[in-house]
Copies of this chain bind each other. A is one copy, B any other.
Amino acid sequence: MAQTQTIFIIDDQESVRSALAEMLSVFGYNVETFESADDFLGKLDGERSGCIVADVRMPGTDGIELTRELARRQVGLPVVLISGHGDVPMAVAAIKAGAEDFIEKPVDDIQLVAAINRGLSHTTERLAQSQSLQSLKERFGRLTRREAEVFDLVVQGFTSQGIGAQLDISPRTVESYRVQIMEKMQAESVAVLVRFAVRLGRITP
């Protein structure tokens, strides 16, 4: 259960990467470094757990954009942003984007470690959630167009008859789809299916 936590250091400057990696290693963290956000995103496998420490200003995707992208992808990893020339509007944007903290250089080791630990304490749950969400999305993706249509109507509470009327097909056919849907989604009841739909954002709770 206790998966290894890794600190992902993302900075375009080699000197900063190695300094941070050295420092965090001393504190006992398992560290990996990346020279750009895009490099990191490309190697993201969704299986890893830990905390990201990234510079705000970088060529390509910057730290704040990275944070937004991770949120958009519903990756549960917390992000601690570091800035050399940070100003208030940038800090506001960073936190609004969902960053765990925004730290100015020169970095205070204690402050950084504290931020990382705050992030790590939230990460495990979020990761588990995002993994199961990933699995859900895959299962939903296996539904055919028609099945997805029926799915949406089922979780809205329509009966097979009503769905058949709306799609102008036989209720029997709808029931065939329902069976397929329940199987593919691995839902043993409509109630579970509705919760899946909520998690998938296909209906608002």
Contact = CB atoms under 8 A, between A and B. Distances in A.
A179 interface: no
Contacts of A158: 189
B104 A157 contact: no
B157 A188 contact: yes
A17 to B, nearest CB: 23
Interface residues on A, range: 20 to 34
A101 interface: yes
Given A92-B91, A92-B102, A101-B92, A157 B191 contact: yes
Name the residue among A92, A96, A156, A198 with the largest chain B CB count within 10 angstroms. A92
Contacts of A157: 188-192
Interface in A154-193: 154-159, 188-192
A156 B157 CA distance: 16
A45 interface: no
A42 interface: no
Interface string A26-64: 000000000000000000000000000000000000000
Interface of A: 83, 86-88, 91-92, 94-96, 101-102, 104, 154-159, 188-192, 194-195, 198-199, 203-205
14 contacts: A83-B88, A86-B88, A88-B102, A91-B95, A158-B189, A159-B189, A190-B190, A191-B191, A191-B194, A194-B194, A194-B195, A195-B204, A195-B205, A205-B205
